């Protein structure tokens, strides 16, 4: 049986060869440049000509403060995490959907690759590209913060952020964001695999990403029962974890951590089981049709 390491390398190679991967990377870079360019332009616009931007108090007291380091790190990771999550959903659904439609799944099985190792290799490959996207996005956000500081006349104050503590905090933010990336990659890949449809996997995953929070909020209006129903949604644990990436993070009690971890671990386990069972029962001839 082909080892997982070879399958993983093969999946990375396939992703890097696909135009979709590079198109999504370009989209990430362009969006980051456009967002920071727009925000900097808003700050520099003369009074009465700019657009008032409401800033979340957890990110800073003003738009300028929330963009400039060290607080700019938190706004940056928030923007990057959302964009990379949406892009990794597209990539995950596209990876699984194309393998089913092109018949490459059948080819891999005929070459001796096990079904479970194939799934593991795909998720690991998506995780590596997700991490690469997060790192690139964070570097772009730091550059945007530095450009903002120079543009508003603050200058680059290295002493306020170029420290070991800053690097460590950036690592923690990346780690939390990666947990969410892995959850969403697994959701998109599993839905696509179970439905055997790229459109279904992509549509359902993106709908859950952008509407899950609103659905949870509506359920919360029903009282304690609604609150717990909202906490059972697959995005609830990830959303709660991502809130810790704010400049002023919430303080979670032991009970909060219990349901957050239960949600994330539980959904990952459920999705993994569903994917493995579905793939093991799948007719590979039908999958390649």
- Omega before 70 within 30 of 0, i.e. cis: yes
Q: Give the contacts of 75 (CB within 8 A, at least 6 positions apart).
A: 59, 60, 66, 67, 141, 247
Q: How confident is the model at residue 288 (pLDDT cuts 50, 70, 90)?
A: very low
Count Cα atoms within 13 angstroms, Cβ side, for 251: 0
Containing structural domain, residue 258: 4-287
pLDDT tens-digit readout, 161-197: 878 888 999 999 999 999 999 999 999 999 999 998 8
Angstrom CA distances, 120 to 3, 64, 115, 157, stand at: 11, 43, 9, 44
pLDDT tens-digit readout, 208-235: 999 988 888 888 888 889 989 999 998 9
Global pTM value? 0.89
- What's the pLDDT score for residue 244? 93
Residue 113's H or E segment, with its range, is none
For the chain, the maximum distance between any two Cα atoms, rounded to a whole number of angstroms, is 68
How many separate domains does the chain show? 1
pLDDT tens-digit readout, 77-129: 999 999 999 999 999 999 999 888 887 887 787 777 788 889 999 999 999 99
Look at residues 231, 68, 53, 228 and name the one whose alpha carbon lies nearest to residue 141. 68
154 three-class SS: coil
């Amino acid at each position: 049986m082909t080892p997982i390491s070879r399958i993983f390398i093969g999946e990375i190679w396939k992703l890097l060869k696909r135009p979709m991967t590079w198109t999504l990377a370009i989209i990430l870079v362009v969006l980051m440049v456009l967002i920071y360019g727009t925000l900097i332009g808003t700050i520099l616009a003369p009074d009465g000509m700019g657009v008032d931007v409401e800033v979340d108090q957890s990110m800073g007291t003003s738009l300028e403060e929330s963009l400039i380091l060290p607080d700019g790190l938190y706004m940056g990771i928030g923007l990057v995490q959302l964009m990379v999550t949406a892009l990794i959903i597209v990539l995950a659904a596209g990876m699984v959907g194309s393998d089913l439609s092109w018949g490459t799944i059948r080819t891999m099985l005929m070459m001796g690759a096990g079904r479970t190792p194939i799934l593991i290799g795909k998720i690991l490959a998506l995780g590596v590209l997700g991490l690469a996207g997060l790192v690139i996005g964070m570097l772009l956000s730091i550059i945007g913060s530095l450009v903002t500081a120079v543009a508003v006349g603050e200058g680059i104050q290295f002493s306020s952020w170029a420290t070991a503590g800053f690097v460590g905090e950036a690592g923690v933010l990346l780690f939390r964001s990666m947990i969410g990336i892995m959850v969403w990659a697994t959701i998109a890949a599993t839905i696509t695999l179970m439905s055997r449809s790229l459109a279904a996997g992509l549509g359902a995953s993106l709908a859950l990403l952008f509407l899950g929070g609103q659905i949870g909020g509506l359920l919360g209006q029903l009282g304690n029962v609604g609150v717990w129903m909202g906490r059972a949604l697959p995005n609830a644990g990830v959303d709660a974890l991502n809130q810790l990436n704010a400049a002023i993070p919430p303080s979670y009690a032991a009970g909060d951590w219990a349901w957050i971890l239960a949600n994330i671990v539980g959904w990952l386990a459920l999705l993994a089981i569903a994917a493995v069972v579905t793939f093991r029962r799948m007719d590979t001839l039908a999958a390649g049709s």
